[in-house]
Amino acid sequence: MHLFAKTNRNKYILIDEIQKYPPATATIKHLYDNFRTDNLKFVLTGSSEIKIRQGLGDTLTGRVYQVKLYPLSLTEIKVQSGHLDNVQEDQLQLRKYLIYGSLPASQNLPLADYPSFLREYVNNLLSKDVLEIGKIRKSTQIFLLAKLLAGQAGQFVNFNELAVNTQLNRETVMRFVDIFEQLGLVYRAYPISTNERESITKAAKIYFTDLGVRNALINNFDDFNIRPDRGQILENAVFMGIKRQLDYKRDPYQLGFFRSSSGSEIDIVKKTNNVQELFEIKSSPKKAKKTKNVIYITSENTIDYLK
């Protein structure tokens, strides 16, 4: 240990997929606690938040700074591709982003290989990680639950209806949605009150962290311009793009939606530092009716929220 600490003094030590070897955390704790003068810094990464938390336990409590990583932004993709100031390339990357998502592992693949990569990724996630963590063997029903959620991306979700359609009880549905969320597959958005009137408090929306994963679940990689779910895709992309930016800044915020008892809706509500912004997502610029204090986002300016 002493030799390791001296050899790596003032260095960053990267350990990937830390959740696959939980005993390593005890060694890291020992090095951190006993060789602080050597200024060792560890960067621990992993693909399963639940397993990382289970593996770390209380071992590194008070010694870690956590950062949640998202699929790549368009800016990160542009840096990797080398096309930094190319408007035409930006639009091509946007269309690719909306259909195939932006998982880092997919970025160097030929476009023709994206569907098979994403299907295999989803299959591994659901058949291994989700079932292992959930301690259940009902794989067909869990796949169906994920597929139904994908079909409702950006829409209000009725968990009782999901229970009926999957033949699972409501508690099991809720538990697996929790697991999906902790694995970084989905994010649940809740209503936020505006100055107009109180919103309904029981509704929830589901957004997918990566659109490629969502489209793999519904088995639809059609071009964006011919899809009937363009509005859902745009809203999902914008919501998660805004959330990624807010989480990386690490400032307090609220992000959700507004829906009143009379049916009035605002797709996305963002509150930061007592400043409120309202967003409406429209699949076509022609559908964007100007309303005071509402920012309208269409396919023409979606890219501004995915950087």
161/155 Cα distance (integer angstroms): 14
215/99 Cα distance (integer angstroms): 7
Least confident stretch, 43-47, 67-71, 105-109, 302-306: 43-47
pTM to 2 decimals? 0.87
Which one has a higher pLDDT value, 156 or 292? 156
DSSP state at residue 86: -
Task: Report whether pLDDT(196) > 50.
Answer: no
H helices of the chain, in order, are: 2-7, 24-34, 49-56, 74-81, 87-100, 114-124, 131-134, 139-151, 159-166, 170-182, 211-217, 230-249
163/42 Cα distance (integer angstroms): 43
10-68 pLDDT, tens digit per residue, is 888 888 888 778 778 888 888 888 887 778 888 888 776 666 666 665 667 777 778 88
Tokens at 164, concatenated = 């009926």
Task: Name the average pLDDT for the chain.
Answer: 87
Task: Report whether pLDDT(239) > 90.
Answer: yes
Which one has a higher pLDDT value, 306 or 198? 306
Which one has a higher pLDDT value, 99 or 36? 99
Question: What average pLDDT does this structure show over 95-111?
Answer: 95
Which one has a higher pLDDT value, 291 or 74? 74
Question: What average pLDDT does this structure show over 157-171?
Answer: 94
Give residue limits of the domains in the chain.
2-56, 74-305
CA proximity to 51, closest of 20, 16, 14 = 20
**Sequence letter at residue 236:** N
* Per-residue pLDDT at 202: 63
Task: Report whether pLDDT(214) > 50.
Answer: yes
Max CA pair span of the chain: 69
The percentage of the chain sitting over the pLDDT mark of 90, rounded to a whole number, equals 52
